[in-house]
Structure 1
Amino acid sequence: MDIAEKKISESDYVGAKKFVDKAQNLYPNLDGLRQVSVMITGGREADWYRVLGVDPLADDETLKKQYRKLALLVHRDRKKYKGAEGAFNLVLEARRLLSDKTEWM
């Protein structure tokens, strides 16, 4: 999970997924593994809507509510499991990108 967290911080989601999958095989009950696994896609980049667990057509209010819920779930100060910081950073990045509509224009 340490390696997966490092990969997430480097925005290497493919590499992170590889190590999360290995951790799942070796330690399926590892604390926080499920949350990190859900947030990482198998593609080259993160699917930011999937990271937040919302529909791509979700309105801003839905994005905000889901972000708050996930931020509390994986906040690095509340959760001491390996990967918590990487998971929190991923949720934070998803919120930043999806709430900044000017970035798409």
Structure 2
Amino acid sequence: MECNKEEAIRAKEIAENKMRNGDFSGARKIAPRAHKLYKDLDNITQMLMVCEVHCGAEQRLLGNEMDWYGILQIKSRKVDEAAIRKQYRKLALRLHPDKNKFPGAEAAFKLIGDARVELLDKDKRSLHDSFCK
């Protein structure tokens, strides 16, 4: 069991280095391995959330438009405002820079804030949804 913990810590360090270099998709591939090797690894879910938000931001729509639903990790485009607010709160609690010290956490926090603003404004959301089609 101790061997798995050491390998998990090493995998987490590799993922964190990738995050420092801006390779969030690479870190997203390695971090779950670390979690699988040792379930009680500190802050691995926070690391994964940062990676997921940045990977969602890398996915672009037509005209180089951001995929706000992808950033908030919302699968359906037919969600109501309450679901958007709930998902934003869930992510904001884990991504707030005071609580999440991983590289890219502050930028991820700003991205989810921008996504919330865009999706809660009816006009901006309908324009965004037209890009999605």
TM-score by length of 2: 0.55
Count of aligned positions: 90
Q: Distance in 2 between matches of 1:81 and 1:66?
A: 20
CA contact (8 A) 2:49 2:91 kept: no
Greater per-residue helix proportion: 2
Instruction: Name which structure has the greater RCO, CA cutoff 8 Å, separation 6+.
Output: 1
CA contact (8 A) 1:33 1:83 kept: no
CA contact (8 A) 1:74 1:85 kept: yes
Instruction: Give the letter aligned to residue 48 of structure 2.
Output: R
Paired position in structure 1 for 2:82: 61
Paired position in structure 1 for 2:97: 76
Task: Provide closer, same or farther for how the CA distance between residues 66 and 47 of structure 1 changes in structure 2, counting only shifts above 3 A.
Answer: same
Paired position in structure 1 for 2:25: 21
Q: Distance in 1 between matches of 2:72 and 2:82?
A: 13
TM-score by length of 1: 0.68
Paired position in structure 1 for 2:116: 95
Q: Which has the larger radius of gyration?
A: 2
CA contact (8 A) 1:52 1:67 kept: yes
Any unmatched runs of 5+ in structure 1? 5-18
By how many angstroms is 1:38 displaced? 1.5
Aligned counterpart for 1:36 among listed residues 24, 32, 50? 50
Residues 48-71 of structure 1 show CA distances to partners (whole Å, capped at 9, x for unaligned) of 112222221000111111111111
Residues 16-46 of structure 1 show CA distances to partners (whole Å, capped at 9, x for unaligned) of xxx2134456x63585431122122353343
Matched, 1:2 2:2: no
Q: Distance in 2 between matches of 1:65 and 1:21?
A: 25
Q: RMSD between aligned alpha carbons?
A: 2.4
CA contact (8 A) 1:20 1:33 kept: no
